[in-house]
Structure 1
Amino acid sequence: MPRWPRCDGPLRDWRTRRERVSPTCGPPPRTRSTPGRGGAMPARRMPSGTESRDPTRVRHAILAVAAYRGFVEAIPGTSAAFVAESFALDEPALARVMAWVALASAGAVFLGRLFDVRGRRPVLVACVGAVPALALATAVSPSLAGYLAAQIPLFALVTAILAGAGVVIAETIPDARRAAALAHVGLADAVGGGLAILAMPIAAELPGTWRWLWWLAVIPVAGLGALRRAVPETPHFERRDALVGLKAIFASHRGRALHLVGALTLIQVAFGGLLFWPYYHAVEEAALSPALASAVVIVGGGVSLIGWVVGGRLAERIGRRLTAFVGTLGSVAAGAAYYLAGEESSAFALCGAYALFLGTNALALLATQTATLELFPTEVRASAATAYAALAASGAFAAQLAAAALATPLGGLSAAVAALGLLAVPGVLWFALALPETRGGSLGGGASTEAGR
């Protein structure tokens, strides 16, 4: 009988305080002989449930979730003029209502922490499953109070869904293709928003107008079971170090966290107004019919989708910071051109300005979102992603309140939105100069071991 070294129990790693198996403790690894070769090879390890899933199926499921989320998020802005008519709201009152709806997305920070503690898969499925119920409540809301009561938790959920979908893709796709994969998520989200805009002219001709869009948002509840089967837990979450505390992580990443919050706050306040009111501007300020306004937004949005593809390639080639800088400057210029166009402007000119605005905005959003996921370790990555989305929501809230205050002195809501867009310029300069470049980094350990600035 062979004698192995005595094993007095598992050893404990003094650095992580976790138990580990001694390499000299117990029998050697089991091997199995290969018939006909006389050699031995290590015993085959059975794949886990996560490893046995099809990555293509996971990607398709996440893209479907992103498209659904984009559809739901686009409904309030697309139907703003009809909501104002239903509840007898003037421009400042409508801006304040939409501001409170946008601020509700900040509640996604709590859900982001659940992503990091409970897992990506269960929280994502739960959030997607709760959206149809709140969409139904919005569709049947008899008053403004009922509308807000359904919209506030709904937008916290859709914000968390975008962050969770991005984290799942980032932790599933190889490092060299991460930005391109996240670009596909943004592309699907934009397509979903375009479907809401496409459906608005049809709904406008029906009794109830905007409520029909929320009825459509209830239908995807039928696919919840398929989503649960298709999306596994990510390998990064399964390998995370659960003993690492938030205080320790924040202590090592305090500098970059503060720089990121400051820069993104300015950027998101600027983009919050520019992204929210395009359909309203086309109908109310440019005096286009609802059908023609939808055509401008749909065609311009369709052309702009190439911005996500270009942004994914640029972010991998020239880096996240430079891509964000180029995209932000282009977005501010094109957004101002769109919102300052009045009744004398043609639909073709509006469509071109809107396409350029959304295309360059895609570059900026993709670069900043990808950098946010790469700057922080697995233990808080989803929290960082939802904080990014919450900053976007808070920026939209601040933008709506500022637009409501500036609409009268500047001569209209569109002029106020264009003026607020200038805040993105100092924001992107802060982002590019104060934060490290993350292109080519690995999510496996680089972000968690590298000290923050």
Structure 2
Amino acid sequence: MTDPAETLDLKPDSDATAEDADRKSIHLGFLGRTPPFTKRQRRVFWIASTAGFFDQYDRALLSLALKQIQAGLKIAESHVGPMLSVIRLGYLLSLLMTPFADVFGRRRLLLYTVVGYTIFTGLIAIAPNERTFVAFEIIARAFAGAEAAIAMVIVAEEVDAAYRGWAIGLLSAVSSSGYGLAAIVFAFVNTIPYGWRGMYAIALIPLVVVIPLRRVLPESARFEKEKLEGLKPVKIWEPVARLYTAYPRRLVMMLSISFLSNMGGNASGFLFPKFLQNAHHWSPGNVSMLFFFGGALGIVGSIVAGRMSDRFGRRVMGTAFLFLAPLFTIWMYTASGWSIVPAWILGTFFDFAGSMILSAYSAELFPTSYRSTAGSALAIAGTTGGALGLFLEGVLYNLTGSLSRAVCYLTVFWMIAPAILWFFPETSGRELEEISPEAKAL
């Protein structure tokens, strides 16, 4: 029987043999080693990882510097929850962009999105008031959400089936290092010129470097194959239409899990730096140290989840990780003294691990012709759930008078997600075409 991977090779056999001979694994310090990538796969992986890096940096800045942004723009405490909810809704706009990746190609859209994200990140740094700040954040999130969805699809389509979970987990971990950079920068928020505005401006330097780098990114081999066979969509609305008609059961389950887990857990992550400063009287420097050193241990959860899901299955490991994450979240919001440190590290570990499994499923459960659109749909469900969760946190805070109680009550929704994940098909070690053939419904 023909190996499905061989049918995707668009190069002469001699070129393919040369690339296989060039396979090697690279050591990345505390993140461990990469899978045995070919030269092409290494290039794709590193360029794709820049998308999530800047998205995580931006999200971290808003969370870490929320107290300073609130003071600088004179945002009332009653506006914080609704403001964060509205900003998260910017990810909804990414669905207007990702279908272009299924029609015109992953490479082109990844280049265009970084240009748009760069422009609006710069505008955030000079926002004069709350309304313009929120508007620029919304548009920047739209570009960032599209970037992250397309990058995940590119990696899933390029790496070998045996290492796909490992590669996606490593992509999530490398991308999350943007959070680490934000944590380092935040330690100097009181000394950096223009404070939190300077933190946003710093992101412009590497962004400008990335723009020409992405021009050397090769197009996805699977996309090129479908283009040659005439299977790719030709109209912008087609990927969305196919997504909602071909695999409806998978789609509903995926969107439900993303919605519930973000509804239950998003507020806990966003508000934790402020919680440490207000409830535990931590300084920005202490918060920065926790998020940098503790976060480094936490994001390893993505890699562990990737490798374990390749070995033991996405469904089993995903269910376990999604069940443990809310339990440790409750601990970190009720812990006293320095016990809050291991609670946060373990909570972050299982949160990243569970999110990695969901990201892998979003890229595996749907065909090439609308795989990018599926990733965006997952982000939209998570965004909507997260926005509702932040809104409910404000309501629960008014009822209980306690941030920690409000966050802990919300985790009830998070705990429902693992029960749904258990009914997903197993995807580890299987080729994408076997998991989700074109034009086939359940």
TM-score normalised to structure 2 length: 0.86
2:405 paired with 1:415: yes
Task: Work out the number of aligned pairs and report it.
Answer: 404
Counterpart-to-counterpart distance in 1, 2:306 and 2:163: 9
Counterpart-to-counterpart distance in 1, 2:277 and 2:297: 20
Which residue does the alignment assign to 1:319?
A: 313
Counterpart-to-counterpart distance in 1, 2:135 and 2:211: 27
Partner AA of 1:425 in structure 2 = M
Which residue does the alignment assign to 1:96?
A: 82
Partner AA of 1:437 in structure 2 = E
Over 3 Å counting, the alpha-carbon distance change for 1:418 and 1:198 in structure 2 is farther
Q: 1:106 aligns with which of 78, 87, 92?
A: 92
User: 1:28-107 to 2 correspondence within 5 Å?
Assistant: 54-107=40-93
Which residue does the alignment assign to 1:379?
A: 369
Partner AA of 2:45 in structure 1 = R
Residues 132 and 220 in structure 1, CA contact (< 8 A), matched pair in contact too: no
Which residue does the alignment assign to 2:182?
A: 196
Counterpart-to-counterpart distance in 2, 1:141 and 1:371: 37
Partner AA of 1:356 in structure 2 = L
2:390 paired with 1:400: yes
Partner AA of 2:419 in structure 1 = L
Residues 86 and 387 in structure 2, CA contact (< 8 A), matched pair in contact too: yes
2:158 paired with 1:164: no
Matched position secondary structure for 2:431: coil
Over 3 Å counting, the alpha-carbon distance change for 1:225 and 1:260 in structure 2 is closer
Counterpart-to-counterpart distance in 2, 1:429 and 1:254: 19
Q: 2:119 aligns with which of 133, 136, 143?
A: 133
Residues 327 and 360 in structure 1, CA contact (< 8 A), matched pair in contact too: yes
Q: 2:416 aligns with which of 426, 434, 441?
A: 426
Over 3 Å counting, the alpha-carbon distance change for 1:140 and 1:44 in structure 2 is closer
Over 3 Å counting, the alpha-carbon distance change for 1:207 and 1:59 in structure 2 is closer
Which residue does the alignment assign to 1:282?
A: 276
2:432 paired with 1:443: yes
User: 1:245-394 to 2 correspondence within 5 Å?
Assistant: 246=239, 247=241, 250-341=244-335, 345-346=336-337, 348-394=338-384
Partner AA of 1:187 in structure 2 = A
Matched position secondary structure for 1:439: coil
Residues 374 and 447 in structure 1, CA contact (< 8 A), matched pair in contact too: yes
Counterpart-to-counterpart distance in 2, 1:78 and 1:259: 32
Counterpart-to-counterpart distance in 1, 2:232 and 2:46: 29
Counterpart-to-counterpart distance in 2, 1:369 and 1:44: 32
Over 3 Å counting, the alpha-carbon distance change for 1:171 and 1:95 in structure 2 is same
Residues 296 and 350 in structure 1, CA contact (< 8 A), matched pair in contact too: no
Residues 427 and 435 in structure 2, CA contact (< 8 A), matched pair in contact too: no
Partner AA of 1:176 in structure 2 = A
Q: Please provide the CA RMSD for this pair.
A: 2.3
Counterpart-to-counterpart distance in 2, 1:207 and 1:54: 41
When Rg is computed on C-alpha atoms for both structures, the one with the higher figure is 1
Counterpart-to-counterpart distance in 2, 1:68 and 1:419: 31
Residues 198 and 294 in structure 1, CA contact (< 8 A), matched pair in contact too: yes
Residues 91 and 145 in structure 2, CA contact (< 8 A), matched pair in contact too: yes
Counterpart-to-counterpart distance in 1, 2:165 and 2:206: 28
Matched position secondary structure for 1:284: helix
TM-score normalised to structure 1 length: 0.84
| Unaligned runs of at least 5 residues, structure 2 | 1-10, 20-37
Counterpart-to-counterpart distance in 2, 1:219 and 1:243: 36
CA shift digits 1:80-108 (9 cap, x unpaired): 11111112234331111111101111111
Q: 1:231 aligns with which of 208, 217, 223?
A: 217
Counterpart-to-counterpart distance in 2, 1:426 and 1:443: 28
Residues 278 and 297 in structure 1, CA contact (< 8 A), matched pair in contact too: no
Residues 340 and 414 in structure 1, CA contact (< 8 A), matched pair in contact too: yes
- The answer to which structure has the higher helix fraction is 2
Partner AA of 2:410 in structure 1 = L
Residues 320 and 418 in structure 2, CA contact (< 8 A), matched pair in contact too: no
Residues 51 and 144 in structure 2, CA contact (< 8 A), matched pair in contact too: no
| Unaligned runs of at least 5 residues, structure 1 | 1-42
Counterpart-to-counterpart distance in 1, 2:353 and 2:140: 27
CA shift digits 1:101-159 (9 cap, x unpaired): 01111111111111111110011111112212111111111111111121110011111
Partner AA of 1:118 in structure 2 = F
Partner AA of 1:310 in structure 2 = V
Counterpart-to-counterpart distance in 1, 2:400 and 2:164: 42
Residues 102 and 232 in structure 2, CA contact (< 8 A), matched pair in contact too: no
CA shift digits 1:414-444 (9 cap, x unpaired): 32122212211112211212x2222222113
Counterpart-to-counterpart distance in 2, 1:86 and 1:243: 47
